[in-house]
Amino acid sequence: MSLRFVEGFKFTRMDSPIHRLDPRAKFILTLGFFACSLMFTNIYALVIIFVAQIPGVLMAKTVSRWLRSMRGGLFLGVFIFVMNVIFGTTIASSLAFMMRFFAIMSAFSFFFMTTSADDLGLALEQVHVPYSISFTFTTAVRLVPTMAIDAQTVVDAQRSRGLELDKGNFVKRIKNYIPILIPLIISAIRRSVELAEALESRAFGATENRTSITTLKMRVADFAVIIATIAGLAAAVYVYFYVSLPTLVIPIQIPRLF
Amino acid sequence: MIAVENVTFNYPGGPEVLHNLNLRINDGEFVAIMGENGAGKTTLVKMFNGLLKPVQGRVLVDGVETREKSVAQLSRNVGLIFQNPDHQLFAETVSEELAFSLRNFGFKEEVIQRQVTNLLTALDLERYATSSPFVLSGGERKRVALAAILVWDPKHVIMDEPTIGQDYLQKDRLRNFIMQLESQEKTVVIVTHDVEFVAECKPRVILLSQGRVIGDGPAVEILTNRHLIDQSSLVMPQIASLMNRLKELDAPPGIIDAYSAREFLKNRLRNVISTRPPPER
Amino acid sequence: MPAIVAKDLSFTYAGGDKPSMEHVNLSIDKGEFVILTGPSGCGKTTFCRCLNGLIPNFYAGDLQGKLRIDDIDVKGKSTAELATHIGFVFQNPENQLFSLSVERDVAFGLENLGVPREEALKRVEWAMQATGILALRKKAPYELSGGQQQRAAIAGVLAMRPSVIVLDEPTSFLDPKSAEEIVAVIAKLNRELNLTTLLVEHRLDVVSRFANRVVVMDKGEVVLDGPPDEIYSDQARLIGIGLPRVTMLFHLLRLDGFPVTKNPTTVEQAADELKRMLNP
């Protein structure tokens, strides 16, 4: 379960109109979906918001990965539903909250799947986030697959010494992770030291006025996306205040436990 | 014996890494598995202790299919030493590090103490018994990692790239150590691309390229085969290159290290000296 | 004016009880190709770290003696300041590539230095051409082989136009063929750009053909310094240097009492010398 969930946020290089969009435009779009999801508690509205993202997913050619991440998030979604019901929310509302979770998760997953860490870093730089922060972010993202490989190697090495991670009671299982965590942490530290040495040798931090050979340029498509997002938000606000949405009533009474 | 029968393997969602591989390593053999980076060498040896199971075909270790056993069970007889010791060192002291696997395998405490002491001596680590493994130098950490695997006396010993980052003295020590293991009748498999090291040890060489076995034979044959060498991003041992340039000597094939070259040249040079006219008085 | 001058250089790492490097006196001229070798722990990495300021800025400790690069006193200079004079290529290609495309990676140092975009693009182009990786410019570093990654690292350093380049065991993680290729690239750059090159290596059989000077360190000191055929001697052997096998062969023949007069360090030299000895 857990790994599929993470996969939904991993970037893959693909040639699609969505991938070619400026990350700033995409992020505004994502924020738009996010804001709309927070605004509504009505299940029909939330379903529409969720479904509205699907054309984008299709255009980005990432359908199977997106589906996998949705499946990965199923556990959490159902958890939200069950928790809400237990604590007294109506079934209809609980469904709505679950839908909201999926709408938000889908929006962010979609953003990260179609935006490379480098482009993200560039976007952050160009909105004047301090370089040290944006660089930390992109390096961390870049290191995730590397460290995942390290983690697998450590697990393999310790299993080869007889460590059995799937045996024993709860306490034993936790203790069994010490021979995994320590080498992993130490490897990470060693790697960071080597990276830091290399950074220094490439004059990292030499000047406040860093230049960049690539700059992100907003094109027509990006502006179109931003305008569409604003329009969509405006429409959502209008619907929220002036349109009465049908409500879903599920005539099942859950005995109040709390 | 380790038997690989029609093994095909790919990582989930990935391309095929091993294609219909067949090979057999007998007990007590000394084998070097060589090939370019990405040829599938490490993938192959991870099958010997069950870390990876074949997608098609089967791997048998001492007659037992690896699919039927857990990694812990297979590791009792197959010790796999990884390339980077930092991926396995974690204990507070070197002794604890060595004891780790013995505890996992359920050995009795007296046996554990004895084995730990033996290995500390065998690998010249006695003075570090109570030191933290993390304060040791790179070469020392590699020895601790080696000791940590040999401590349970596995029948088959597999070393993944044992010579990387080692200087000449360290490699010499490693070579001697492998000979010791050989004399204990252990099967020794090293994954390496260190051609000169292999030329001096002269194991059986299994050459992999793009997931297939392209050569399998004595080092003196494989390492002098230019066609195979080129295919697997290796280079010929220097002495072999030298002998190639001296074709007129009609040297027997398979001279790949300095000692055998010296033996051959000694005779030729003596002939030359004895047929030379004596110096003028 | 020599490119590197070290006078009585010594360093003890913070918390260490004895110096890792002692009384090192070394002078390297512009355009020289010097091999630095020695057994593990001999101090060669320590020396290299002093050259580009990692010692004492990154690695704290007690640094004594004088060090000048390009006639600039290194003392008090940060690694960033020295980066335009001396470039450093590390052992592990994975940990010295920062970006998700080769092009951006090669530009990384220039961006850090604030080099204007036009100039930076020109230099990136030039550096990639010089190291033969133009075709890989859009690829991500993880898509490259080890040898290609090291070329990218060298390009990234080259773009900053240093006059000295230091490479610390750059072939460690490479297969033999890639190792030979990368050393050939390094030698070519040394020749064509008159780039002073200090190459730290164990694999003397690969590098001996390119260098005319070998410096051997042992236990923190420089013990041998000269052309390969002089240095690859009994003393070097005893220190524990892995001499090229052809050199070893001639040493053995000398032990056997044969009239060996030369000390070949490459296969070609050895072949020529043997032909001569067998056909007097």
At A159 the pLDDT is 95
Q: Which of C81, C112, C123 to mutate to test the interface with A (most CBs of A within 10 A)?
A: C112
**Residues comprising chain A, all counted:** 258
Chain C closest CA to A135's CA: distance in Å?
A: 9
Helix (H, G, I), strand (E, B) or coil at C92: coil
Q: At residue A70, does pLDDT exceed 90?
A: no
B61: nearest Cα among B156, B150, B182: B156
Helix (H, G, I), strand (E, B) or coil at C174: coil
Q: Where residue C234 falls among pLDDT bands split at 50, 70, 90?
A: confident
Does C15 contact A at CB distance below 8 Å?
Answer: no
Does A68 contact B at CB distance below 8 Å?
Answer: no
Give whole-number Cα distances, C179 to A53, A155, B33, B34, C235, in Å: 50, 31, 19, 16, 27
Helix (H, G, I), strand (E, B) or coil at B155: coil
User: Are residues C54 and A214, on separate chains, in Cβ contact within 8 Å?
Assistant: no
A53: nearest Cα among A115, A108, A132: A108
- Determine which of B98-102, C236-240, C246-250 has the lowest per-residue pLDDT on average: C236-240
Burial category of B278 from C-beta neighbours within 10 Å (exposed 0-12, middle 13-18, buried 19 and up): exposed
C184: nearest Cα among C247, B244, C197: C197
Q: At residue A253, does pLDDT exceed 70?
A: no
At C235 the pLDDT is 87
Candidates C169, C175, C202; nearest CB to B193: C175
Nearest residue on chain B to C16, alpha-carbon basis:
B135
At C240 the pLDDT is 84
Chain B closest CA to C94's CA: distance in Å?
A: 15
First-to-last C-alpha distance (Å) of chain C: 45
Q: What is the pLDDT averaged over residues B236-248?
A: 93
Q: At residue A119, does pLDDT exceed 70?
A: yes
User: Are residues B258 and C172, on separate chains, in Cβ contact within 8 Å?
Assistant: no
Q: What is the pLDDT averaged over residues A122-141?
A: 86
Q: Where residue C132 falls among pLDDT bands split at 50, 70, 90?
A: very high
Q: At residue B38, does pLDDT exceed 90?
A: no
Q: State whether the Cα torsion A58-A59-A63-A67 is positive or negative.
A: negative
Q: Does a cis peptide bond (omega within 30 degrees of 0) precede residue C56? A: yes
- pTM, two decimals, is 0.87
Q: What is the full DSSP assignment across B112-142?
A: HHHHHHHHHHHTT-GGGTTS-GGGS-HHHHH
Q: What's the CATH number for C1-85+201-241?
A: 3.40.50.300
User: Are residues B262 and C41, on separate chains, in Cβ contact within 8 Å?
Assistant: no
User: Are residues C120 and A211, on separate chains, in Cβ contact within 8 Å?
Assistant: yes
In chain B, alpha helices (H): 41-46, 71-75, 94-104, 109-122, 138-150, 168-183, 195-201, 219-222, 226-231, 238-245, 258-275
Burial category of B98 from C-beta neighbours within 10 Å (exposed 0-12, middle 13-18, buried 19 and up): buried
Q: Where residue A258 falls among pLDDT bands split at 50, 70, 90?
A: low
At C186 the pLDDT is 96
Burial category of B196 from C-beta neighbours within 10 Å (exposed 0-12, middle 13-18, buried 19 and up): buried
Q: State whether the Cα torsion B46-B50-B56-B58 is positive or negative.
A: positive
At A1 the pLDDT is 40
Residue A26, both tokens: 């995409």
Q: Which helix (H) or strand (E) holds C66?
A: strand C61-69
Report pLDDT digits (tens) over C16-26.
Answer: 889 999 999 99
At A256 the pLDDT is 65
User: Are residues B167 and C242, on separate chains, in Cβ contact within 8 Å?
Assistant: yes
Strand partners, C63: C11
ipTM surpasses 0.95 = no
At C120 the pLDDT is 95
Q: Which chain A residues are within 8 Å of C157, Cβ to Cβ? A: 201-202
Q: At residue B25, does pLDDT exceed 80?
A: yes
Listed by number, the residues of chain B in 232-261 with a beta carbon closer than 8 Å to a beta carbon of chain C are 233-235, 237-239, 241-242, 245-246, 249, 257-259, 261
Report pLDDT digits (tens) over C103-127.
Answer: 999 999 999 999 999 999 999 999 9
Stronger pLDDT, C91 or A63, i.e. the higher one? C91
Q: At residue C84, does pLDDT exceed 50?
A: yes
Burial category of A42 from C-beta neighbours within 10 Å (exposed 0-12, middle 13-18, buried 19 and up): buried
Report pLDDT digits (tens) over C150-174.
Answer: 999 999 999 999 999 999 999 988 9
Listed by number, the residues of chain A in 86-125 with a beta carbon closer than 8 Å to a beta carbon of chain C are 116-118
C-alpha–C-alpha distance, residues C225 and B190, integer Å: 36
Report pLDDT digits (tens) over B124-137.
Answer: 899 999 999 998 98
At B34 the pLDDT is 96
Q: Which chain C residues are within 8 Å of B269, Cβ to Cβ? A: 253, 258, 277-278
Chain B closest CA to A243's CA: distance in Å?
A: 48
Does A58 contact C at CB distance below 8 Å?
Answer: no
Chain A closest CA to B12's CA: distance in Å?
A: 13
Q: What's the CATH number for B1-77+191-236?
A: 3.40.50.300
C-alpha–C-alpha distance, residues B75 and B62, integer Å: 12
Helix (H, G, I), strand (E, B) or coil at C145: coil
CATH 3.40.50.300 spans which residues of chain C? 1-85+201-241
C-alpha–C-alpha distance, residues B201 and B193, integer Å: 13
Report pLDDT digits (tens) over B89-112.
Answer: 999 999 999 999 999 999 999 999
- Domain extents in chain B: 1-77+191-236, 237-275
C-alpha–C-alpha distance, residues A179 and A157, integer Å: 10
On average, the pLDDT of chain C sits at 92
**Percent over 70 (pLDDT), chain A:** 94
**Percent over 70 (pLDDT), chain B:** 97
Chain A closest CA to B140's CA: distance in Å?
A: 17
Does A115 contact B at CB distance below 8 Å?
Answer: no
Q: What is the pLDDT averaged over residues B191-216?
A: 94
